[in-house]
Structure 1
Amino acid sequence: MGSPADLLDIDSELSDAELATREKVREFVDRRIRPNIARWFADAHFPRELVPEFGELGLLGMHLDGYGCAGRSAVEYGLAVQELEAGDSGIRTFVSVQGSLAMSAIHKHGSEEQKQRWLPRMATGEAVGCFGLTEPGAGSDPASMTTRARFEPGSESGDSGGEWVLDGAKRWIGMASFADIAIIWAKVAEPQEGGGERDRVRGFIVPTSALGFTAVPIEPKLSMRASVQCDITLDGVRVPADALLPEHPGLAGPFACLDEARYGIVWGTVGAARDAFEAALSYAKEREQFGTPIAGFQLTQAKLVDMALEITKAQLMALRLGRLKDAGRLEGHMISAGKLNNARIAITICREARTVLGGNGITLDHSPMRHASNLESVRTYEGTDEVHTLVLGRHITGLAAFR
C-alpha cells in the first residue's frame, strides 16, 4: 500500500525494477536507521559502520556506469535517496557526497587511471571521498574562491614529473575528517594565447593524509547532526602531477557535479516531507482531545490535506525530472526549479507536521522537528533559494541578476 500522501497513485507510474529498488532501500532504512537515528542525532554521531553496507546495497555511485558502479537509472537513484532521507538528511548526505560529488567528479573529469584506481574502491565504501569547493568567503559565488594551486616542475634528471602545491581553505565540506581523498577545486594561473596568464578553476585528487592537509569538524551544529561537515586547511599541500583532473577545466567541472547532487536533493526532500507527514498523521489518529482523535478536527485535517497535496506535487516534479534525466533531456534550470520548490515545501511541511504533534513534537521521539532542522541545511547547500530563484529568473527573462 502506498503512502496516504500519494493522492494521484504516482506509484503506478513506477516500473517493477524501480519499485524493487525503493523497497530494498526502505527496508534498510527501517532496519538500520530508524531505530538508531534519534540517538545518532542527539549525540552528533555519523555511523561510519553503515558505509560498507551502503556499498553492499549498490548505493555509492549507483547512477554511474562501469568501474564497479551499479549503473542504475536516474529514477532508481532518486527513489533510493528519497528513502534514505526519509530516515535522515544527514545519512542521505553521505551517499550524495560520495557518489554525486566525489565519485562523479572522477567519473566525469578524471583520467582512465584515476577512474580505475579510485572508483571501484569508492563504490564498495572501502575508500571515502569528499568534495572541497565551498570556502569561508565563497559560498554562492565559487568564482571568488581564493584557494590556489601552482605547479613546480620536476628535476632535470627526469625522475620526477613535478608536483602541484595547494594553499587555501574550504568550509562545510562533508566527511572531510574521515575521508581518504578530497576533490579540491583551486585556481591555477594558465598561459593565454598572445601572452599573459588567466586564472582557471581546476580539480585535484588530494589524499587527506598529505602533509599540510587538515580537516576539523564544525561543532556544535543545530542541523545535520548525524553527519559531519568540516573546515579544511591546505597549507602547502603537495600532490603529484597526475593528481590533476584533466577533463573539463573551469567552473563547468564542479558545477556538473553539483547538478548531480541537486538532482538527488529534489528527491530526498520529498522523503523527509513524507516521513514528517506520516508521523503527524499517525499521531493525529491516536491522540485524543475533547473526546475524539485530533485527526477528526477540521483544522487538523486541513493541515494534513495541505501537506499531502504539496508532497504529491513535489513527487510529480521529482519523477518528471528523473524521466528527463534518463532521456538525456534534463537542463540546469529544471534542476533549479526542483531544488527550489521541493526543499522549500519540505521544510514547510515538516514545521507544520510538528504543530500537529504539539509539545511532544519538540522531542526526538518524533521525526518532524529533526527533519525541519536538517532541511535548514539542505535548503542552503547546493544553491540557496535566492541563487536558484535568480537562475530561474535568468532563464525566464534572459537577463542575469547575479551582478
Structure 2
Amino acid sequence: MSTLSAMRKRYLSDPAFKMFKKVLPPLSDTEREAMEAGSVWWDGELFSGQPNWSTLLNYPKPKLTDEEQTFIDTKLEVLLAMLNDYQIVQEDKDLPPEVWQYLRDEKFFSLIIGKEYGGLDFSAHANSTIVAKIATRSLSAAVCVMVPNSLGPGELLTHYGTQQQKDYWLPRLAQGKDIPCFALTGPDAGSDAGGIPDEGIVCYGDYQGEQVLGLRLTWNKRYITLAPVASVLGLAFKMKDPDGLIGDKQELGITCALIPADHPGVEIGERHDPLNMGFMNGPIRGKDVFIPMDWLIGGQEYAGKGWRMLVECLSAGRGISLPALGTAIGHLTAKTTGAYAVVRKQFGTSIGNFEGVAQALGRIGGFTYMLEASRTLTTTSLDMEQTPGIVTAIAKYHMTEMARTILNDSMDVHAGRAIQLGPMNYLGHHYFGMPVAITVEGANILTRNLMIFGQGATRCHPYVLDEMEAAANPDAKQGAEEFDRLLAKHISFAVGNVSKSLLNAFSGSCFNRTPVSGETAVYYRHLSRMAKALAVSADFAMLSLGGELKRRELVSARLGDVLSHLYLASAVLKRYEDEGRQQQDLPMVKYGVEHCLHQCGIAFNDVFNNFPRKGVGRLLRTLNFPLGIHYHAPTDDIAIKISALLMSPGAHRERLTHLCYVGDKADDPVAIMERAFLAMHEIKPLERKLMKATRRGEIPRKASLTDKLQVALDAGVITEEDVKKIENAEQLRQKAIQVDHFCADQFKKASIQPGKAA
C-alpha cells in the first residue's frame, strides 16, 4: 500500500467507515430482497450523473412481430367490435358470456405463457399494446385481460414453478380452462405487502385419504381482481414451521401457493363494487385450510422466497399493464377531445379556437406523446429481459398521474357532454376507472414517496449499495479494506460531479455532449445538467441524513421526481429519433421535454427550501444552481400549435392516437364523433366562403343555417353540391354533440344491496 493510500485509509476511510456504519440505513429482509431483485437499466445511467445518450438511442426500437401484428389486426379487432362498455358497466356489471368465451378461445389470457404450453408468448410491447387498445374501448375488459398476464399464477409459474406444476397448470391457463387470480392484498396489508398477517403453518394433514406434509392456512384477502370468477388462486402468506418439520428455521417468510378455488375451506365468489365498474373483483378468505406441500409455487425449495418472487414479477404489472391503461387514456382523449373541440361551437366558432381550450388540448397532446414514448421505452427494457424495478415504478406512478390530469382536461373541454352517462359517453367510465390504476400495484403515494428514490438511491448509485455491503461485512478487516477502495472511487465520483455541476451552471450546459444535432440537441445538454445535479444532491442527502433519509419521505419524493422526469424526457427524445424525427411531432417533443425540465426545477427548488439540514439545502443550491433555476413550463405558443395538430386530420394525428379504437358501427360513440370531425374539416373552405360573403353583406348574419344556405345558393356563393356537404356535416355535428336521455322508469330499478363487510 502506498503512503498516500495508507494516509487516506487512516485519516479518511477508517473514520468514514465507522461513521457509515452508524448512519447506515438499516435494511429489513424484505427491503434487501427488493434491492437485490431486478436490474438497473437506463435509470442507472441517469443516476450516475453522466448518462451516455448513445446508449439510450441504441436500445432496440419497439416493434411487433408479424404474428403479434396479425393477432392485433384480426382477433383483437373482433374483440373490440364485440365490446359495449355501457352494457358491461351499467347493465350487466360483467362481460357478456360470449366475450368471456372469446377471450378463452383466442388465448387472451395467455399472452405471456410459452408456446410449449399452448400460450402465445408475446413480447411485453405486444402485451402492452393489446391491453392499451382494449382500454380505449373498455377499461373493465382491459382489466380482465391484463390481470392473468401480469402479476398472477401464469407469470409466477413460468419463472418459478416446478416442472410438474408447469406441465399441469400452464396448458390449462393457456386454453382458458382455468381463470386465475392472485391474492396478495388484505385489510391490514395493502402497499405494505411485507406485513401481511396471513399465515401458513407447516404440519401434517389429511389429503386424499393420506397423511401428508403440508400447511394449514388462514387468510383474509380483498380487492382481488377476477376472484369472483377464478377457478385457481395464487396466495401470498407468511410461512412458519414452529415444530421444525422442514428445518431449523421457524419463521420462513413470505411464500406463494397455488390453490384450486373449489378446494375445501376456500371462501370465494363474493364481489366488491369498485367505483361501479364492470370488472370482477372480490374478497377471498380461508380458515385452517390444509394444502399439501407441493402446492407451493416452486415446491418446498421456494418456501420463504415469495417476496423476491413477487418483487421481480411486479414489474409486469407496473411496467406493462398500468402504464398501458394510462396510455390508453392519452390516445382516447387526444382523438376525441381534438375532434370535439372542432365539432362543438360557441359564439359562432369551434371551441378549440379559444385559447383556454387550446391550452388544455396542448397539455393533452403533449402528455399523450410522452405517455406513448414512456410506454414503449419501458416495454423495451422488459423485452431486453431486464427487470428494472425503479423504471417500472416511475412508469406506473407518473403515467397514471398524467392520465388523470389529461382526463380531467378532456372532461373540462367536453363539459356537459362528458358528465351524462349513456352509450354516447366515451369518457365517463374512464373517469370512474382511473383511480383503479392509481391505487393498485402499490398506491401512488407510496410509489412516489418511498419507492422511486428510496430504492433508487441505493440500487442505482454506482457505489452506495456496495459500500453498505462492505460496512455490513462480518469480517471487519476485509470490510474496511473494501470500503476504502470504494470510498476512493466514490470521492472521485462526487468531486467530479460537483465541479461539472458548477461548470454547467456558469456555461449554460453548453459543454455537455449531445448525440444529435438540430432543435433537440440543447435538450440533451440540459438533461445531462439535471442528471449531474441529481447525483450531487443524492450524495449529500445520503451523507447528511443517513438512515434518516428513509423517514424523510418528502425529500425522497422530490429527488425521485427529478429522476422520474429525466426518464420521461429520455423516452420522449428516444421516440422522436426512433420515428425518424417527424417534424410535425416537434411541438409535442418540445412540450414533453420542457415540461420535464420545468418539473425537475420545481422539485430541486422544493428540496433546497425544505431540506432538513438548512445549511445543506443552501449548499446544494449554490453547488448546482448558483445563478438560479430558470427552466420554464412549455410556452403558450407550443400548446396552441399542438391544439391545432389535434384539430386537423392527418398522419400526425394518427401517430398520436393510433391505439384509440374507432369502430365502424353506426352507434359507436367514438366513431360518431370522428365522422362529424372529418365532415366538419372537409367543409372548412366552404365555411370560409360563407364567412366572407357574410362580411360583404351578401348573407344575413342572424338567420338559420337553412336560410343562410339558400341565400348563399341564390347569390352563387356556393353550389347545390356544397349545400349537401354542409347539411350532411351539420347533421353529423348535431348527432355528435347530443347526450343520452332515458325514461324516468329506468332509474327505479333496484340497486345493488350491500352484503356484510369483507
Report the TM-score when normalising by structure 2: 0.48
Question: In 1, distance between residues paired with 2:128 and 2:119?
Answer: 16
Structure 2 residue 253 is the aligned partner of structure 1 residue 200: yes
d(CA) in 2 for partners of 1:206, 1:323: 33
Deviation at 1:159, TM superposition (A): 4.3
One-letter code of the match for 1:381? Answer: V
| 2:104 aligned with 1:55 | yes
Structure 1 residues 113 and 145 mapped into 2: Cα distance closer, same or farther (>3 Å)?
A: same
Q: Is the 8 A contact 1:84 1:268 kept in 2?
A: no
Paired with 2:62 and 2:231, the residues of 1 have a C-alpha distance of 40
Instruction: Determine helix, strand or coil for the equivalent of 1:137.
Output: coil
Does structure 2 conserve the Cα–Cα contact (< 8 Å) formed by 1:184 and 1:206? yes
- Check the 8 A contact 2:132/2:328 in 1, yes or no: yes
Equivalent residue letter for 1:374: G
Higher percent of residues as helix: 2
Q: Does 1:387 align with 2:446?
A: yes
Confirm or deny: 8 A CA contact 1:25 1:84 kept in the other structure.
no
The equivalent of 1:68 in structure 2 is: 118
For the residue of structure 1 that corresponds to 2:169, the secondary structure is helix
Say yes or no: does 1:252 pair with 2:401. no
Counting matched residue pairs gives 387
Q: CA deviation at 1:74?
A: 1.4
SS of 2:110's equivalent in the other structure is coil
Q: Provide, for residues 10-48 of structure 1, a one-character-per-residue CA deviation record: whole Å limited to 9, x for no partner.
A: xx9645635545444652353012xx1012111361215
What does residue 317 of structure 2 align with? 261
- Find the partner of 2:237 among 180, 186, 192: 186
Distance in 1 separating the partners of 2:223 and 2:358: 39
Name the CA shift for 1:265/1:196 in 2 (closer, same or farther; >3 Å): closer
Alignment partner for residue 144 of structure 1, among 195, 202, 206? 195
Partner of 1:212: 265
The alignment status of 1:165 with 2:216, answered yes or no, reads yes
* 8 A contact 2:334–2:364 mirrored in 1: yes
Once residues 306 and 235 of structure 2 are traced to their aligned partners in structure 1, the CA distance between those partners, rounded to angstroms, is 13
Alignment-mate amino acid for residue 362 of structure 1: I
1:225-284 deviations in Å (ceiling 9; x for gaps):
110111111122222332111264231122233221122212232013321332222222
Deviation at 1:368, TM superposition (A): 2.0
Q: Which moved more, 1:60-69 or 1:308-317?
A: 60-69
Deviation by residue 1:54-80 (Cα, 9 ceiling, x = unmatched): 234332231332311111111111111
Q: Is the 8 A contact 2:312 2:389 kept in 1?
A: no
Q: CA deviation at 1:82?
A: 1.0
Structure 1 letter corresponding to 2:433: N
Compared with structure 1, are the counterparts of its residues 26 and 117 closer, same or farther at alpha carbon in structure 2 (3 Å cutoff)?
closer
Q: Does 193-202 or 330-339 show the bigger shift?
A: 193-202
Give 1:239's aligned residue.
Answer: 291
The one of 122, 129, 133 equivalent to 2:180 is 129
| TM-aligned CA deviation for residue 154 of structure 1 | 5.3
Q: Distance in 1 between matches of 2:456 and 2:168?
A: 43
String of CA shifts for 1:279-332, please: whole Å, max 9, x gaps. Answer: 222222221211122223222222112101101111111111111211123411
Task: Give percent identity, aligned residues only.
Answer: 20
RMSD between aligned residues: 2.5
Aligned residue number for residue 735 of structure 2: none
Equivalence for 1:228: 280
SS of 1:70's partner is coil
Q: Quick one: which of 407, 411, 427 aligns to 1:354? A: 411
Partner secondary structure for residue 285 of structure 2: strand
2:4 aligned residue: none
Task: Name the amino acid aligned to 2:295.
Answer: A
Q: Is this contact kept in 1: 2:312–2:387, CA < 8 A?
A: no
- C-alpha distance in 2, partners of 1:290/1:349? 25
Task: Verify the 8 A CA contact 1:307 1:349 in the aligned structure 2.
Answer: yes
**Structure 2 CA distance for aligned equivalents of residues 295 and 16 of structure 1:** 39
Residue 104 of structure 1 is aligned with which of 155, 165, 175? 155
Using the TM superposition, give the Cα deviation of residue 164 of structure 1 relative to its aligned residue in structure 2, in angstroms: 2.5
Report the alpha carbon displacement of residue 148 of structure 1 after superposing the two structures with TM. Answer: 0.9
Offset at residue 144 of structure 1 (A)? 1.0
Native 8 Å contact 2:103 2:109 kept in 1: yes
Q: Measured at CA, do residues 343 and 291 of structure 1 come closer, stay the same or move farther in structure 2, by a change above 3 Å?
A: same
Residues in 1 aligned to 2:250 and 2:331: alpha-carbon distance in whole angstroms? 52
Q: In structure 2, what is the equivalent of residue 8 of structure 1?
A: none
User: 1:314·1:341 contact (CA, 8 Å) conserved in 2?
Assistant: no
Question: Structure 2: which amino acid aligns with 1:215?
Answer: I
Distance 2:311 2:453 in 1: 19
- Matches of 1:196 and 1:180 in 2, distance apart? 33
Does 2:407 match 1:323? no
Instruction: Report runs of 4+ in structure 1 exceeding 6 Å deviation.
Output: none
Change in Cα spacing, 1:336 to 1:352, as seen in structure 2 (3 Å) is same
Distance (Å, rounded) in 2 between the aligned partners of 1:133 and 1:13: 32
Larger Rg: 2
Answer whether contact 1:276 1:371 (CA < 8 A) is retained: no
SS of corresponding position for 1:161: strand
Distance 1:367 1:193, change over 3 A: same
Q: Which consecutive unaligned segments of at least 5 residues does structure 1 have?
A: 1-11
The answer (yes or no) to whether the contact 2:64–2:125 under 8 Å persists in 1 is no
Instruction: Report the Cα distance in structure 1 between the residues aligned to 2:96 and 2:118, rounded to whole angstroms.
Output: 21
SS at match of 1:47: coil
Higher strand share: 1
Matched, 1:89 2:145: no
**Stretch of structure 1 that moved more, 190-199 or 286-295:** 190-199
Q: Determine if contact 2:153/2:258 at 8 Å carries over to the other structure.
A: no
User: What letter corresponds to residue 83 of structure 1 in structure 2?
Assistant: K
Q: Secondary structure at the match of 1:60?
A: helix
In 2, distance between residues paired with 1:112 and 1:55? Answer: 24
What's the CA shift string for 1:159-191, capped at 9, x where partnerless? 443342211200100111221011011111145
Letter in 1 for 2:454: R
Distance 1:394 1:163 in 2: 38
Distance (whole Å) between structure 2 residues aligned to residue 336 and residue 196 of structure 1:
33
